[in-house]
Amino acid sequence: MTTIEFNQMVNTHSVSLKSHALKFTNDVEDANDLVQDTLVKAIRFYKNFQEGTNIKGWLFVIMRNTFINNYRRITKTRTLITQTDEISSINLAHSATKNHADGKFIVDDINKALTSLPEAYYTPFVKYFEGYKYHEIADMLQIPLGTVKTRIFVAREMLKKYLKTYDKVNHF
């Protein structure tokens, strides 16, 4: 099957994908985004599709996994960012006492530590930090899963050594 034939076959299922996406998201715009992400992944990984199998089921699995991964990523981001409707004076006082100039130095040191990583370790580590799963990173970088795990582990160890001065202060 050629790429063009595969793309046409995938596009024929876009309507049923959209109705399925609406069940996940309950929002038309989010459903459109989910369908688009699904189609892009399907086209990008079309070589993984085994001809003769159920393409509609394959697309639905991609959609479900995409939705779950996006949900996890959003949840992770929201837990990192405190969202409050009302900023009380207690919160402001607490924030002001922690808002020292040394915070900028810490961020600068973290950025320097990240840029000191070799590219082979930097890319998988950043992808993992962004919320991607090991297998997704392996697919993106087209390297074995074990290599991804090893590189992320080594990157952590390198960062720990680079940032060891903060270990006793901030308990990284």
Domain boundaries, the chain: 3-80, 100-164
**91 band by pLDDT with thresholds 50, 70 and 90:** low
DSSP for 2-27, written as a single string: -HHHHHHHHHTTHHHHHHHHHHHHSS
pLDDT tens digits, residue range 115-124?
888 889 989 9
Q: What is the pLDDT of residue 47?
A: 80
pLDDT tens digits, residue range 72-89?
887 777 666 555 545 555
CATH number of 100-164: 1.10.10.10
**Residues 59/10, Cβ–Cβ less than 8 Å:** yes
Q: Report, as an integer, the average pLDDT of 34-63.
A: 85
Q: Report, as an integer, the average pLDDT of 1-11.
A: 78
**171 band by pLDDT with thresholds 50, 70 and 90:** very low
Tokens of 56: 């509609």
Average pLDDT, the chain: 79
The answer as to CATH 1.10.1740.10 being correct for domain 3-80 is yes
0.85 surpassed by pTM:
no
98 half-sphere exposure, CB direction, 13 A CA radius: 7
Q: Report, as an integer, the average pLDDT of 9-34.
A: 85
